[in-house]
Amino acid sequence: MLDVVYNHLGPEGNYLGDFGPYFTSQYQSLWGQALNFDGPDSDEVIRYFTENALYSLRDFRIDALHLDAIHGIVDRNAQPFLQLLARSVHEFAREAGREIYLIAESDFNDVRYIQPAESGGCGMDAQWSDDFHHALHTLLTGEQTGYYQDFGKLEHLEKAFTEGFVYSSQYSAYRRRRHGNSSCHVPARQFVVFSQNHDQVGNRLFGDRLSTLVSFEALKLVAGMVILVPYIPLLFMGEEWGERAPFQYFTSHSDAALVDAVRRGRQAEFAFFRWQGLPPDPQDEATFFRSKVDHSRRHTGWHQIMCGFYQELINLRRTLPGLARPDKQRLETCGLEQEKVLLIRRWSDAGEAVVIANFSKEPKSVLLVVPEGAWRKVLDSADQRWREPGSSVPPRSNSSGTVQLSLCPESFSVFQREVI
């Protein structure tokens, strides 16, 4: 899979404008000159970038393209570049007898990017859901600055589970306007979810990962929420063993004026988060070396335990009836906001599973509505196996419609309905 950037080109070493009208002064970009996708002579600009995509797919056998920040592409054409790109890529895939995917990154919460062209969409195969990240991150860290101010309740994570987007035309305090449209009808396979990625970590003041912000127990809880949802999970490099090295923004520019502009720009960018301190110098070589992943950690201490935990979760996602199909139509949630406990029920024709998660830092005793029958525990993040003192959740539960359970802090359990 290749990450492609069709919303801007870097400010240094950018000579594309010498060869044609690839840029426009009609729009402003956060990253330099805006690309000309809808002005005079833009047809050949669109052709250039479309052929760039096909070149990667055809000559280098790339299987999928991740399109960076498509919300930074301004295109007022009735047939926009992204729609034409998707059509060309999918036509090539059919002719080549291959499966090729286009995955969009956008913070617009707009399902039109992944709707078919016949329905007025762009025809992308999937897109990232920042809302899922924000809802999960705020529950665990309590952060409420910047775009995190729109999140922080259990109901936000519930909606991310059941629909994909949290903001689907509601008022956003951060944006001070309505935001997004409904994703109720969008299949689960069209959303990619995550607890961390290069943007969400790299765009923090110190590039700190979640492993340095929350407890070991909370990290396991995060893993369960990302892997056991019906969507496509994405893991950030080293997340599967709890990597602690930061991922900081680093550069190696040669233009002194540009280096100074980047330094000042990074400081201004963090103002609305109200984080204390100055960001690491992007041009300092030490910033780069601090950000390198230490692969040896995965074989030592609690990092090794975490890696085994992810392997167990991935195996459950693949094999457990009820969790194996990416189907959000066969999913129900029940959240207890005050207790910060979430019940997730998923099922298929082959079986049924229930995930019970406690996001509180305190133990909770709760009465939960669980379908009648016998339920067997197949995983518990608080088990001694995963470096814990032991779970308070029994290995089996018989439900007559409700079940009383005592839950350890920041933990979750997975139950499978037993067939009698």
One digit per residue, pLDDT tens: the chain, 420 residues?
Answer: 999 999 998 878 889 999 999 999 998 877 778 999 999 999 999 999 999 999 999 999 999 999 999 999 999 999 999 999 999 999 999 999 999 999 999 999 999 999 999 999 999 999 999 999 999 999 999 999 999 999 999 999 999 999 999 999 999 999 999 999 999 999 999 999 999 999 999 999 999 999 999 999 999 999 999 999 999 999 999 999 999 999 999 999 999 988 998 888 888 778 778 888 889 999 999 999 999 999 999 999 999 999 999 999 999 999 999 999 999 999 999 999 999 999 999 999 999 999 999 999 999 999 999 999 999 999 999 999 999 778 999 999 999 999 999 999 999 999 999 986
* The two three-digit tokens of residue 4, written as one number: 């492609």
CA distances from 91 to 88, 137, 210, 212 (A): 5, 39, 40, 45
Catalogue all structural domains in the chain, each as residue range(s) with its CATH number. Answer: 2-241 (3.20.20.80), 328-417 (2.60.40.1180)
Do residues 229 and 316 lie in contact, with contact meaning Cβ atoms separated by under 8 Å? Answer: no
Selected catalytic residue, list 38, 75, 105, 312: 105
Pairing of strands 232-233, 331-336: unpaired
Pairing of strands 64-67, 2-4: parallel
> What's the rounded Cα separation, in Å, for the pair 72 and 116?
21
Task: Respond yes or no: is residue 44 known to be catalytic.
Answer: no
pTM of the model: 0.95
DSSP H or E stretch at residue 262: helix 256-269
SS (H, E, C) 338-362: CCCEEEEEEEECCEEEEEEEECCCC
Selected catalytic residue, list 41, 43, 59, 68: 68
pLDDT of 212-257, one tens digit each? 999 999 999 999 999 999 999 999 999 999 999 999 999 999 999 8
Helix, strand and coil content of the chain, in percent to the nearest 5, comes to 35, 20, 45
* The two three-digit tokens of residue 317, written as one number: 């996602």
Percent of the chain with pLDDT over 90: 90
Task: Respond yes or no: is residue 285 known to be catalytic.
Answer: no
Q: At what angle do helices 216-227 and 301-319 cross, to 10 degrees?
A: 20
187: nearest Cα among 210, 169, 164? 164
